[in-house]
Chains A and B, each alone.
Chain A
């Protein structure tokens, strides 16, 4: 029953949330396919993609959601049972940080309690238009136990780092493909030993 750490790929459902235009789809596309388009189709409902990180022994099942306010009521469907969430804001847009904060609050209240959460301050390449300081976002992240990365889907800055970080923080379980209902628990008292790190 403990066989999985070394053997089968761990599947992890990951959801992206955040304001319309923050760059959720672009981050996913960069991560999954290594591409960036100045203009990518806007997301209706949600898009589904997968990406395997063999070094981390993780297969991410990624739900990229729509950001417009009125789609909000569909979101629980996507974060329900998610092992990880990336909350994205646009560093050139203060309002998008406000929306990110609301998402964090909602996930804390209603998401899976073991969910690994990361905050991504995207469009870091647009330094001249920056409206949110690194410190402000970092402080918020620290206060809420989130990893924080400033990313750029455009230049590929910190994109891999972000997802690697998440992959490494996922609670390792033996339970495998989990069709999940609300509040799935990925790890009970997890044997926290970093079992797969022995080598290097």
Chain B
């Protein structure tokens, strides 16, 4: 029962002036950025009535409504106040939720079968997720984030936890006004097999992300040939530039209001949007990049460009109107080709690693929790065994963590 109502979304204090809609510090450096942000806010106000109108139609339908008009609206941006219903409805998260038994999220939170290494890694990252965002960094925020990430790792043990998912979950929580269940289902609708993102983005070796980055590299060669040649000359691989773009869906590089704007389209249309935004970002600073002859400086220039991307309308405009057509067949072709290449490289590397380190298998196996008593070292992923609480199931090396880390919603829960 809540001491912290005032903290909701970080709003309600004199700090407001320096914070954006999601409680992040504004890092505005130029008058242009300030003006652009205000203009974008006003534009969002203007489309709000449209969203009042479509709400009934969208929520009334059991399946995701797909039409050109909604697509256009999503590209124009969903107003902050509409995202809590619009994202779950338009992404398929609601549909996924309905297919499961009621209370599925809570069940995942409380099942208590968290792989100990996964739990340990989540704990490490909780305080390192947007430490400058007041709510995310608060006890309450970290508890919510923990529940969403732990639930996801139990829901999808083959994915478990991958660094990067923490930022996705945090943005989702903020956009959903801290509704954990919605955040969870959105995460699932992005990452689950058959979900919005390309398969295997967060899998071992990040195979999916690597495929996406290579495909993107080919797109850059086609769409921005001068830049592509320049990058090649500098030996600047796309992974140096775009790893966090693809793994965090821009959540660590763009201002949060711009991130949410990108996700408005991403959640409705799919990952082609990521290519478009990435192309638009590079295109926006292409001239500067061509003049830089050092990889480090080039990366720095791109960082600055993304950090200052407060003009979300302009970014979307470039992404959707100025980078030309991008037929899905072509992208599929890139992906197939690169999937094969990445798979075979990974297989080779693994064979090599296996050969050279059959001795040192022990090292990654002991993600033991800090205070773990007794001999029950976690066997890690490779060696399944029954869990100590006798529940077995799902994966391997499960241990009851719910009691150690507060997975239970406190009295602050919204349904309290």
Contact = CB atoms under 8 A, between A and B. Distances in A.
Interface of A: 20-21, 37-46, 48, 50, 61, 66, 68-74, 77-78, 95, 98-99, 101-102, 105, 109, 177, 179-181
B247 interface: yes
Interface in B199-247: 202-206, 210, 233-235, 237, 239-240, 243-244, 247
A45 B204 contact: no
Given A45-B239, A179-B233, 8 more contacts: A40-B131, A42-B163, A45-B247, A66-B163, A70-B206, A74-B239, A98-B362, A101-B360
A48 B295 CA distance: 10
A98 B299 contact: no
B205 A73 contact: yes
A64 B124 CA distance: 17
Contact of A77 (B124, B240, B346, B364): B240
Contacts of B210: 73-74
Contacts of B193: none
B391 interface: no
B128, B362, B364 interface centre (most CB from chain A within 10 Å): B128
B12 interface: no
Given A180-B235, A181-B235, A41 B205 contact: no
A42 B369 CA distance: 20
A48 B303 CA distance: 10
B363 A48 contact: no
Nearest to B237: A77
A72 B35 CA distance: 42
Contact of A72 (B125, B205, B362): B205
19 contacts: A20-B124, A41-B129, A41-B130, A42-B124, A42-B163, A44-B248, A45-B243, A48-B299, A50-B296, A61-B296, A69-B204, A69-B364, A70-B162, A70-B202, A70-B204, A70-B205, A74-B243, A77-B237, A95-B364
Contacts, number: 99
Contacts of B240: 45-46, 48, 77-78
A71 B247 CA distance: 11
A165 B385 CA distance: 47
A61 B296 CA distance: 7
A71 B360 contact: no
B357 interface: yes
B129 A42 contact: yes
A80 to B, nearest CB: 9
Contacts of A46: 240, 243
B356 interface: yes
A41 B296 contact: no
Contacts of B206: 70-71, 73-74
Interface string B153-179: 000000000111011000000000000
A109 B244 CA distance: 28
B252 A44 contact: yes
B235 A48 contact: no
Contacts of A78: 240
Given A37-B131, A39-B131, A45-B239, A179 B300 contact: no
Given A44-B247, A45-B247, A181-B235, A105 B128 contact: no
A39 B299 contact: no
A21, A44, A99, A101 interface centre (most CB from chain B within 10 Å): A44
Interface string B57-71: 000000000000000
Contact of B363 (A44, A66, A95): A95
A105 B163 contact: no
Nearest to A179: B235
A95 B299 CA distance: 33
A46 B243 CA distance: 8
A180 B240 CA distance: 14
A42 B235 contact: no
B138 to A, nearest CB: 12
A189 to B, nearest CB: 26
A37 B125 CA distance: 14
Contacts of B235: 179-181
B367 to A, nearest CB: 7
Contact of A102 (B130, B164, B360): B360
B293 to A, nearest CB: 8
Closest 3 CB pairs of A and B: A45-B243, A98-B363, A42-B128
Contacts of B406: none
Given A37-B131, A105-B357, A44 B164 contact: yes
B363 A41 contact: no
B259 to A, nearest CB: 14
A40 B164 CA distance: 14
A73 B209 CA distance: 11
Nearest to A48: B299
Contact of A21 (B124, B293, B356, B357): B124
A102 B357 contact: yes
Interface in B344-382: 346, 349, 356-357, 360, 362-364, 366-367
B121 A20 contact: yes
